[in-house]
Amino acid sequence: GRPVRVHHLRQAKASGARLTMITAYDALTARIFDEAGMDMLLVGDSIGNVMLGHSSTLQVRLEEIEVATRAVASAVTRAMVVADLPFGTYEAGPAQALDSAAALLRAGANAVKLEGGAPRAQSVRALSQAGIPVVGHLGFTPQSVNSLGGFRVQGRGQEAGDKLLQDALALEEAGAIGLVLEMVPSDLAQRVTQALSGTTIGIGAGPHCDAQVLVWADMAGMTDWRPRFAKQFGQVGQALHQAVQDYGQAVREGSFPAPEHGFEQ
Ligand code: KIV
Ligand code: NA
């Protein structure tokens, strides 16, 4: 089909069609996810935890997202590629955000994502005015894990809920095309979804968002990490383990390589 772009997000919201997003960090998996019909691929800074062995997203550098974005973009024919701005590459203000976002667009991203609410509005405006679609990220924002006090649900209660809604409206007013809502109560996610004309992309945010995102390693069963919102739709880790085990055994017992795997004179 035709590439998914910003206007398709608006069309989907208007028609009530749910959109799908999954993380991708390389060409190998990006091709599979694109062919499987994902509307958006997120080159998330979760690459730090998932692929690079870090304990948080704070260690991820812009260059690492650039490399991953180039790989993902090279493999995609339909999905919209959204790339995360890593910690420390945009918070200083619009000029820094523009430099960093430009690097990701040069690498092939169609949009960038950044964390935070009203304090980010100026930068969101600068990027939007430069023609760079921006996706926000509210609720549990992993780059702020040290001030949020750990991995926990955000926006519980009237006051915190109202503040999150105000942050969402500030991002939209600044030009954001949508935002990720991570680990917020389902009724708050519904309120935000109804209040915004942009796309809400939920993860641990209940069934009322316009779109859903999951980290591919979680949904495919690659690890033991199983938060309640990360349903496993496959056991790919187990399948890969078995394939490698079978390969090793075949080599050790001499059944592989067989004559047909070799070349004639
Ligand atoms: O980096 C990431 O994977 C994300 C999603 C969890 C939204 O930001
Ligand atoms: Na992220």
Q: pLDDT (tens digit, 9 = 90+) per residue, 145-159?
A: 999 988 899 999 999
Q: Is there a domain that residue 106 lies in? A: yes
Please give the distance, rounded to the nearest whole angstrom, from the Cα atom of residue 148 to the centre of ligand 1. Answer: 16
Residue bearing the CA closest to ligand 1, atom 4: 44
Confidence of residue 227 (pLDDT cuts 50, 70, 90): confident
**What's the structural domain count of the chain?**
2
What pLDDT does 150 receive? 86
115 labelled ligand-binding: yes
Note whether 87 and 60 are within 8 A (CB).
Answer: yes
Q: Is there a domain that residue 32 lies in? A: yes
Q: Are residues 202 and 99 both part of a single domain? A: yes
Q: Are residues 163 and 251 both part of a single domain? A: no
113 labelled ligand-binding: yes
Q: Are residues 123 and 18 both part of a single domain? A: yes
Across the range 44-70, mean pLDDT stands at 97
Q: Is there a domain that residue 132 lies in? A: yes
Q: Are residues 176 and 103 both part of a single domain? A: yes
What pLDDT does 224 receive? 83
Which of 246, 203, 253 minimizes the C-alpha distance to 21?
Answer: 203
Supply the DSSP symbol for 144. Answer: G
Q: Are residues 258 and 150 both part of a single domain? A: no
Q: Assess whether pLDDT exceeds 90 at residue 108.
A: yes
The total of other beta-carbon atoms located within 10 Å of residue 15's CB is 7
Confidence of residue 226 (pLDDT cuts 50, 70, 90): confident
Q: Assess whether pLDDT exceeds 90 at residue 122.
A: yes
Q: Are residues 126 and 256 both part of a single domain? A: no
Q: Are β-strands 111-113 and 80-84 bridged in parallel, bridged antiparallel, or unpaired? A: parallel
- Catalytically active residues are 182
Ligand 1 atom closest to Cα of 50? Answer: 3
The mean predicted confidence, pLDDT, of the chain is 97
Q: Are residues 101 and 155 both part of a single domain? A: yes
Mean pLDDT is lowest, of 70-74, 182-186, 226-230, for 226-230
Ligand 1 atom closest to Cα of 215? Answer: 3
Q: Are residues 143 and 241 both part of a single domain? A: no
Q: Assess whether pLDDT exceeds 90 at residue 54.
A: yes
Q: Is there a domain that residue 120 lies in? A: yes
| Residue 46 CB–ligand 1 contact under 6 Å | yes
Q: Are residues 142 and 209 both part of a single domain? A: yes
What pLDDT does 1 receive? 75
Confidence of residue 129 (pLDDT cuts 50, 70, 90): very high
What pLDDT does 250 receive? 98
Q: Are residues 85 and 177 both part of a single domain? A: yes
Q: Is there a domain that residue 1 lies in? A: no
Tell me if ipTM is over 0.95.
yes
- Long-range contacts at 5-13 (CB < 8 A, ≥ 24 apart): 5/80, 5/110, 6/80, 6/111, 6/133, 6/177, 8/39, 8/80, 9/177, 9/178, 9/198, 9/199, 9/210, 10/197, 12/199, 12/210, 12/211, 13/197, 13/198, 13/199, 13/210
Helix H or strand E segment including 75: helix 62-75
pLDDT digits (tens, 9 = 90+) for 11-52: 999 999 999 999 999 999 999 999 999 999 999 999 999 999
Q: Assess whether pLDDT exceeds 80 at residue 193.
A: yes
Q: Is there a domain that residue 31 lies in? A: yes
| Structural domain range at position 256 | 235-265
Q: Is there a domain that residue 85 lies in? A: yes
162 labelled ligand-binding: no
What pLDDT does 225 receive? 80
| Residue 213 CB–ligand 1 contact under 6 Å | yes
Q: Are residues 62 and 147 both part of a single domain? A: yes
Domain CATH code at residue 127: 3.20.20.60
Q: Model-level pTM?
A: 0.97
Q: Is there a domain that residue 194 lies in? A: yes
Q: Are residues 250 and 195 both part of a single domain? A: no
Q: Which of 23, 140, 145 is the pocket-test mutation for ligand 1 (most atoms within 8 Å of CB)?
A: 23
Across the range 248-265, mean pLDDT stands at 97
